[in-house]
Amino acid sequence: MFGVVKNGFDMTKSLIKLLVFFLVTSNLSAQVKVDNLQDLWKIAVLNNPTQKVYALKSEQIMDTYKASQAFYYPQASLGFNGQDNLILGVTPIPGVLLNQPGKTFNVQFGKHYTYSPGLTLTKDLFDWQAMLQNKIARENIELNKVQQDAYLQTLKTQMGQYYYGLLVAKASMQISEKDYALADSIYKVIKNKFDEGLTDASAVNQALINENNIKQNIYQSEQLTNQAIANIKILSGLPPSTSFVFSEIKLDNQPNATDLMLGTDKTLIPYKNSITISELQQKAQKALFLPKFSALGYFGFQQFQNNFQMNFNKNAWTDYQYLGLGITWNIFTGFANSNNLKGTIVQKRIAEENYKAAKDQSAITDSLLLDNYTTYNNMVTTSRNTFDLYGKNMDLSLQKFREGLISIDAYFKTFQDYLTAENTYLNNLANLLTTKASIEARQ
């Protein structure tokens, strides 16, 4: 009795531990901490839906490749054939065999019913097309791999663009919140002056307009943040309930383009594999003009009956075995093979043209990518300096305004210039980081 109680207690503790484990695991899986872009790449590689499809497709192509190796092995089949010879064949024999010289007799040989069970073995000795199809299947495995690598480069690029877009949106939101606090304090100062009759309503309205413009920037930054997180979840293959915790990083002091390594464009490699497959398809089509050699073996038994019946006694069956060598050579196929061969030649030329065009486009894009990075990097540096200078001018204008040295209109003009410089800097920074994401995905 005590043993039963103890086992039940242990089982209860195990269930509690298991429940706690699932609760903790589910809680951890619902929150993902991201320190850098590489963390997001690792998550996407493991969970991206398209990546999973490529993995399944790889298994499918591997099965197809294994199936294409069937010509290496003999094919075996068991069969049973029952035949009713409705009219037996006639064989003319000389009458001398029947002691009637000079005459010819038509004699029927055989039985009306024939039964033949047996094992048939066939083996292709030289099937050039099957061997080439096997090579094509093997090349398709490599094609799927390089296609997956090419998609992975695109995936990393997209993930980087959304990641950096998210960081810029968060930075914009932080700056806008400071701007809003400043604009609100100015509004209160002007409102007090208006209540005291020291300024007119247009100044109050302009202060409210500035607040609304900054609110609009905050709302837009929130929208961009939510959109970036949604796209990151989609590309990461994570459930909608997942929340991210992003570490803060500095967006300034980006490396020069000369310090960045632009790796091989993996989107070009599948074109080269397509050319190889086109060459093999062309060879496989030419192989149809060659003879095909095969061996055949049959091992079975036969039984002959005059009536529609079958005897299962051992003596009722006679051995029936043979070996054969077959040669098949297509002499004329209605020009189908020759026309299909022409099609494979054109297909190879198409693959070569596609590769040439993609290679030229990639070279131009790569050069433009590095040039854009250098240009955007300079623009970010310049616009950041301009933004800082406008910020200092705004602080000085605010001090002068409070001391009564300048009018409210002069301060508003400085504040508007500051907001314009802020937007210019953030836009340039977003363009720079978007370009950087494309470069980093190639490393």
pLDDT in tens, 104-157: 888 888 888 999 999 999 998 888 889 999 999 999 999 999 999 999 999 999
State the Cα–Cα distance between residues 414 and 417, nearest whole angstrom. 5
Give the model's confidence band at 98: pLDDT under 50 very low, under 70 low, under 90 confident, else very high: confident
Residue (of 232, 251, 183) closest to 212 by Cα position: 183
Q: Is 263 helix (H, G, I), strand (E, B) or coil?
A: coil
> What is the model's pLDDT at position 408?
87
434, pLDDT greater than 50: yes
> What is the model's pLDDT at position 300?
93
Put residue 94 in one of left, alpha, beta given phi > 0 → left and psi -120 to 50 → alpha.
Answer: beta
CA angle in degrees (0–180, nearest 5) for 292-125-302: 95
> What is the model's pLDDT at position 48?
94
9, pLDDT greater than 50: no
Mean pLDDT, rounded, for 28-38: 79
Could you give the angle at which helices 49-68 and 37-47 cross, rounded to 10 degrees? 50
Give the model's confidence band at 222: pLDDT under 50 very low, under 70 low, under 90 confident, else very high: very high
Give the model's confidence band at 258: pLDDT under 50 very low, under 70 low, under 90 confident, else very high: low
4, pLDDT greater than 50: no
State the Cα–Cα distance between residues 270 and 150, nearest whole angstrom. 8
State how far the alpha carbon of 160 is from the alpha carbons of 39, 157, 202, 263, in Å.
Answer: 11, 5, 45, 16
> What is the model's pLDDT at position 197?
85
> What is the model's pLDDT at position 20?
42
**3-class SS shares of the chain: helix, strand, coil, % to 5:** 65, 15, 20
The residue that leads in pLDDT, 18 or 155, is 155
Rg (CA), the chain: 41
190, pLDDT greater than 70: yes
What are the tens digits of pLDDT across the range 338-364? 899 999 999 999 999 999 999 999 999
Query: What residues have CB less than 8 Å from 21, skipping those under 6 apart?
Result: none
> What is the model's pLDDT at position 274?
95
The residue that leads in pLDDT, 175 or 402, is 175
What are the tens digits of pLDDT across the range 38-63? 999 999 999 999 999 999 999 999 99
Looking at mean pLDDT, say which of 11-15, 253-257, 281-285 comes out highest: 281-285
The residue that leads in pLDDT, 17 or 182, is 182
State the Cα–Cα distance between residues 121 and 177, nearest whole angstrom. 82
15, pLDDT greater than 70: no
272, pLDDT greater than 50: yes
382, pLDDT greater than 50: yes
State the Cα–Cα distance between residues 433 and 160, nearest whole angstrom. 8
Share of the chain above pLDDT 90, in %: 62
Give the model's confidence band at 256: pLDDT under 50 very low, under 70 low, under 90 confident, else very high: low
232, pLDDT greater than 90: yes
> What is the model's pLDDT at position 347?
94
Mean pLDDT, rounded, for 394-400: 91
> What is the model's pLDDT at position 418?
94
Range in 13-22, 38-47, 74-83, 139-148 the model is least confident about = 13-22
Give the model's confidence band at 265: pLDDT under 50 very low, under 70 low, under 90 confident, else very high: very high
Q: For all residues of the chain together, what is the average pLDDT? A: 87
395, pLDDT greater than 50: yes
The residue that leads in pLDDT, 324 or 1, is 324
Give the model's confidence band at 333: pLDDT under 50 very low, under 70 low, under 90 confident, else very high: confident
